[in-house]
Structure formats: C-alpha cells, structure tokens
Amino acid sequence: MPGMDWFGDEERREVNEVLETGCLFRYNHDALRQGRWKAREFEAEVRRFTGAPFAHAVSSGSTAVAAAMAASGLGFGDEVIVPPFTYIATIEGVLLGGGLPVFAEVDDNLCLTAESIEKALTPNTKAVMLVHMCGAAADMDSILALCERRNLVLVEDAGQALGAFYKGQSVGLFGVAGAYSFDFFKIATAGEGGVCVTNREDVYHLLHQFSDHGHDHIGDNRGMEQHPILGTNFRLSELHAAVGLVQMRRIEQVRDRKRSAKQALKDRLQAEVPGLGFRPMPDAAGDSGTFLNLFLPDAAAASRAAAELGSRGAGVNYWYTNMYHFINQWDHLKNLRSPFKMAIHHLGAPQDYNALELPQSQHSIGRLISLGIRTNWTDTQIDELGATMVDVLRKHC
C-alpha cells in the first residue's frame, strides 16, 4: 500500500521549493512564498482525481475524520453507527467529537451493510460513519437508500480507499463529507496528512475554518481575519503538502500497477487453490487494488496460513489479531480508558463494548488474510510470490 514505492526527485524538488522560500505555513505571507502554494495545489490534484467540488487538506487521516464529523454537525451525545473493523482513528473521531459509537456488523466485503446498520439503529441514532475498508467501496446503493429513508447523516472514512470508485463516483463523495489518509502506508503519501472532500460549499467552509481555529481565510492579514466558528489546529504544512502533491500527480499510474499485480496474483490463486475465497466487492471495477483479500475455511486455517506465509517472506495481514484494526484487541476502547472525561463517560455508552455480539464480523475477519500490493514488484517477483502463496495456501484450504 505505501506511496513510498515511488518516491524520488520530484518530491525533493517540490520540498526544496518550499524550503527556498522559508514559508512552511500554508496560509498568508503572500510575498514571502513567491507564488508557491503547495497545499492549494495538493487540494487541486485531489479534486482533479476524485471529481470532488471541494477538498481541504489537513494534518492526518485521523484529523480528516474528526473535521468531517464536525462539519457534518455531529457532536455531543450523537449516536453514530461504526464498524468493528477499521483503524481505531475512526472510533476516536466519534468519541473525541463527543459522539457515542454504536457498532454494527461487517460482512465479507469488509464494510458495514444496510442490513447491519438497520439492525443497530436506535431512536437516538444520528449518523453512519461508513468505512471503505481495504481499498474498495461498500455497497453504496443500499446504504444510501437506508440513510435517506431513516434520515441519517452519512460520513465516509475512506482513509484506506483513495483511488476506489463506486459506479464511477469516488468514495468519500456520497455523504456529507469524506476523509482520506495520506500517511506513510497509503496508496499516496504526504508522510503525514489527510484530505476532506465534500460536494457542499457550506460544508467546505466549515472544514477549512474548523481546521484552523475558526479562521475564515479571507485576505492576507492573518491577525485581522474573522472567526465565524470555534475550531482547532488540524493544519497541514507546506512541506507535507509538497510531497502529497507529487504523489497525487502519479496516482493513476500507481493504482493501475496495483490493479495489474493484484489481478495476476488473483487469477493464479483462483486457478490453482481450490477452496480459497475472495472478497465479493459490489463494484470490482472500482477497486483501488491496494489489497488482495483472501478467505480461508476458518480462523485456525487463516492464522496458520498467515504465519507460514510470513515465515516464507510473503507477509500478509491477519487482521483478526491485529492490534490496531479489529475490535477484539481494543481493550482501551472497551474500558473507555482516556486521560480526560469524554461525553461518553458522562452520558454512558449505548452498548456494552465488553459484551458485544458480532458473529458475522468475527466469522468474516477471522477467516481473512490480506496481502498488500506493491507497485515496484517485477514480473519475476510477482511470479515467485504467486508460487509461494499457492504452495502455502493449498495446505490450509
């Protein structure tokens, strides 16, 4: 998944341009920066690729989720449907914004479903935080229909899914606001960074204001800018934006290489490993190609296969025991351990997080192993990797 696969002179040139001006701050100081606006250019590249009318760059994927929450009007006491399979930042974004996470099931597409969301609804449900996990989209037709019918706010965490589309539309653009991550391990990286996207101008203004202490960003006198709202500091530096800008310029090539390598491996495994399952995506043509997701017969087989593949140099993610991405390991969340009192401590959790029953999620994620697809593999390396995977997986299917 890392954007660092392609990293070189172009990124260095853009970073050096920032250093030459001495203006590392993304706003104001027009004369000092000599016409160089890396964050603006970065946002323009995101708009070009995704088709988003509005994009705002922030300091991380996590802050992008938090800003999207805030700009969507979600906060104190609002119950938000979330998945148990995601990076913990999704849940933190809800909690730190004052919301109350309500967990619903994911299926073999690794995302929430309309059915699971509806089963988790209560009279207090305000929104759905939909995560497009492992580089591909959720089933948007049914989820959008449900959100409209139930009057639910939809926010999209597409942190792992930049480059994914659903029926021609970029993920992140179906709800009120969406969030992408540009950390070191994503399809495109800024080192650290994130981008919020939206179709709505009013939401865009809330995003950029909230992310910079409420500044309205009108004019070139920062000390005299108006503050329409309260906010915080989620700003992206020009240095990070310079890297992200270059990465976005080549994202089509990166995605196409990932798709090609993934398809070659998938075709071979389908042909040579009977009993192996694959992720059933609702729009396979819109896949970003970041992961090849495989299903073994049961959790024991998946665990053994993941261990053997790792020992043979073909490392995969076994999310079921991963400390960051699956609810089984989130003891700090289950016990609401925080250095400060959050809304959930005051209002109470809407579920007993230590006694959640999520059998579909346990079944799906227990059987899942995921191979991160690299863009710098040669044909020979893909062939050798495929041979290793066939040899190992045949033993466990």
Domain boundary among 250, 269, 285: 250
For 4-45, write each residue's pLDDT tens digit.
787 889 999 999 999 999 999 999 998 899 999 999 999 999
Structural domain of 150? 3-250
The answer to whether residues 162 and 277 belong to one domain is: no
pLDDT grade for 221, boundaries at 50, 70 and 90: confident
Residue that terminates a domain, selected from 217, 250, 283: 250
pLDDT at 127: 98
Same domain, yes or no, for 97 and 246? yes
> How far is it, in rounded angstroms, from Cα 187 to Cα 43?
16
pLDDT of residue 65: 98
Whether residues 245 and 268 fall in one domain? no
Provide the pLDDT for residue 324. 87
CATH number of the CATH domain containing 141: 3.40.640.10
For residue 349, give the CATH number of its domain: 3.90.1150.10
Give yes or no: residues 93 and 201 share one domain. yes
* Residue 99 DSSP label: -
Judge if 236 and 265 occupy the same domain: no
Tokens of 30: 């027009």
Residue 242 shares a structural domain with residue 301? no
- Residue 370, beta-bridge partner list: 293, 317
User: What total number of domains does the chain contain?
Assistant: 2
Q: For residue 220, name the pLDDT band (cuts at 50, 70, 90).
A: confident
Helix/strand/coil for 154 = strand
pLDDT digits (tens, 9 = 90+) for 305-350: 999 999 999 989 999 998 889 999 999 999 999 999 999 999 999 9
The residue among 319, 370, 276 whose CA lies nearest residue 83 is: 319
- Per-residue pLDDT of 264-285, as tens digits, reads 999 999 999 999 999 999 999 9
Question: Can you tell me the mean pLDDT for 230-259?
Answer: 97
Task: Please answer whether residues 301 and 396 qualify as being in contact, where contact means their C-beta atoms are separated by less than 8 angstroms.
Answer: yes
Q: Do 89 and 204 share a structural domain? A: yes
Query: What angle, 0 to 180 degrees and rounded to 10, lies between the N-to-C axes of helices 251-272 and 238-249?
Result: 60
Note the pLDDT tens digit of each residue in 145-184.
999 999 999 999 999 999 999 999 999 999 999 999 999 9
Mean pLDDT, range 354-358, rounded to an integer: 97
Q: Give pLDDT, residue 377.
A: 95
Candidates 284, 279, 289; CA nearest to 369 is 279
Average pLDDT in the chain: 96
Which among 126, 186, 262, 266 is annotated as catalytic? Answer: 186
Q: What is the pLDDT of residue 1?
A: 52
pLDDT for residue 2 is more than 80: no
User: pLDDT tens digit string along 100-130?
Assistant: 999 999 999 999 999 999 999 999 999 999 9
Assess whether 203 and 80 both reside in one domain: yes
186 belongs to the catalytic site = yes
The pLDDT value recorded for residue 223 is 85
Question: Do 133 and 160 contact (CB within 8 A), yes or no?
Answer: yes
Please name the residue ranges forming H helices in the chain.
9-21, 30-33, 38-50, 61-71, 89-96, 114-120, 140-150, 201-210, 238-249, 251-272, 299-311, 331-334, 343-347, 359-366, 379-396
Around Cβ 119, how many Cβ atoms within 10 Å?
A: 11
Quote the CA–CA distance of 257 and 264 in Å, as a whole number. 11
Q: Is the pLDDT of residue 69 over 80?
A: yes
Placement of tokens 């909230």 in the chain:
210
Q: How confident is the model at residue 60 (pLDDT cuts 50, 70, 90)?
A: very high
* Whether 208 and 152 share a structural domain: yes
Same domain, 281 and 199: no
> In this structure, are 244 and 309 located in the same domain?
no
Q: pTM value?
A: 0.96
